[in-house]
Amino acid sequence: MHEVYLDYNGSAPLDPRVADAMMSALASGVGNAASVHRFGQRQVAAVEDARERVAALVDASPSGVIFCAGATEANNLALIGLAEGAPAERNRIVVSAVEHASVREPAQWLHKQGKAKVDVIGVTPGGHVDLDELDSLLGPDVLAVSVMAANSETGVLNPIEEVSQRVQAVGAVFHCDATQMVGRLPCSLSDIPIDFLSMSGHKICGPGGVGALVGTRQSLTQLRPVTHGGGHERGLRSGSLNVAGIVGLGAAANLVVKERDSESARVRALRDRLVDGLRSELAGVHENGDPNRRLPNTASVRFEGADAEAVVFNMDPVAISTGSACSSGSIEPSQVLLAMGLSRDEAFESVRFSLGRFTAEAEIETAIRQAVKAVEYVRAMNGSDDR
Ligand code: PMP
């Protein structure tokens, strides 16, 4: 059977057009983008072109784009960099309960180091941040609030405009991890005042290991570097630049600008067909998260009575994922689903389908057939265990 990849939120395939741009960058010769000679300057030109493309994706100024090694680093730089530069009277950071580990962990690290107090905003059963709870946590001592634009596990969209207004009203900084959003829905810094936005190449059919933290002229002055060295990227991210990766990120961003709307409409129809197909062929199928406010490509689905790990295993060669994180050999249920009020058992029955640019209609039919077989098999195995 033909392999089917439905794990775009984990990592999206590299677009061949992006690969071509990266190959040209790799072949274009030697030169450190920090050097003044002509070789170096050719690298600078390629990097600056990519900076403009990345800025255009989110309607930012190119001077606000700090290239780094992916969204994990962008999130760390935003939170730790802000805490390092914070005035003494602003020592509290507020993060949502459904943030990616690369936001949750640096926040907890700052807390443990005594560099910031950390509060967590809960989410509604639909998976969006609870604005009333945010209101109750905001005050003049808040340094920063970090709320993601779209959740990687459920695809649920947060009301970032409302969050940003509230954060601005108390003079705090708004950081938004838009890693899953930027490739799929419009996300404009000129429409929504976001002080720092994180993104990553491999979620937008670009390369992995490269991303950007996008700020504004004003917000960047509040950051302190986390990586110290030669002072690249406005002194905020030292290290010789990954020119081919950055060119790839720029090319990927440019394709998103051109193709996002038509791609998202096509992918949404495929995702809806997938969920309809699962529901019509199987009983006990539930969707996690608000179906009316979520990414067009994602479905978090719970198959009652079927262990998600076993379903994922039996779906092969169709690749989907569970929401649970495997750490040091023990499988933990998804923090995101627990925060939304699912029980541990329900979280362990949930899988994620995430589609994208190269998903074909026939692959959705294969995925439905394979999911039906896998779920029926796992349920039957459970039934036989009980006897
Ligand atoms: N934030 C979100 C919402 C993500 O989905 C991911 C990747 N799973 C990251 C951050 C980390 O991105 P990267 O792999 O580029 O470090």
For residues 308-329, average pLDDT: 86
Verify whether residue 68 is a known catalytic residue. no
Q: Give the model confidence (pLDDT) of 39-55 as tens digits.
A: 888 889 999 999 999 99
Distance between Cα 39 and ligand 1 center (Å): 33
Mutate to test the pocket of ligand 1, among 156, 179, 297 (most ligand atoms within 8 A of CB): 179
pTM of the full predicted structure?
0.96
Distance between Cα 366 and ligand 1 center (Å): 28
- The ligand 1 atom at the shortest distance from the C-alpha of residue 209 is 15
For residues 119-126, average pLDDT: 98
Tokens in use for 312?
A: 């994922």
CA-based nearest residue to 187, from 355, 8, 54: 54
- Does 20 have pLDDT greater than 50? yes
**Average pLDDT, rounded, for the chain:** 95
For residues 322-339, average pLDDT: 80
Q: Are 158 and 56 in contact (CB under 8 A)?
A: no
Q: Are 12 and 201 in contact (CB under 8 A)?
A: no
Whole-number pLDDT of residue 324: 72
Whole-number pLDDT of residue 387: 42
Does residue 76 have its Cβ closer than 6 Å to ligand 1?
Answer: no
Distance between Cα 206 and ligand 1 center (Å): 13
What count of Cα atoms within 13 Å lies in the side-chain half-sphere of residue 141? 10
Does residue 7 have its Cβ closer than 6 Å to ligand 1?
Answer: no
For residues 125-152, average pLDDT: 98
Whole-number pLDDT of residue 384: 64
Q: Give the model confidence (pLDDT) of 30-40 as tens digits.
A: 778 778 888 88
- Does 1 have pLDDT greater than 80? no
217 versus 107: which is more confidently predicted?
A: 107
Tokens in use for 37?
A: 């000679």
Q: Give the model confidence (pLDDT) of 190-239 as tens digits.
A: 999 999 999 999 999 999 999 999 999 999 999 999 999 999 999 999 99
- Does 328 have pLDDT greater than 70? no
Percentage of the residues of the chain whose pLDDT score is greater than 90: 90
Whole-number pLDDT of residue 326: 62
Whole-number pLDDT of residue 327: 56
Please list the residues that pair with 66 across neighbouring strands.
Answer: 213
For residues 124-136, average pLDDT: 97
Mutate to test the pocket of ligand 1, among 152, 175, 184, 210 (most ligand atoms within 8 A of CB): 152
Q: Helix, strand, or coil here: 49?
A: helix
Q: Are 372 and 282 in contact (CB under 8 A)?
A: yes
Percentage of the residues of the chain whose pLDDT score is greater than 70: 97
- The ligand 1 atom at the shortest distance from the C-alpha of residue 148 is 3
DSSP 129: B
Distance between Cα 249 and ligand 1 center (Å): 15
- The ligand 1 atom at the shortest distance from the C-alpha of residue 201 is 15
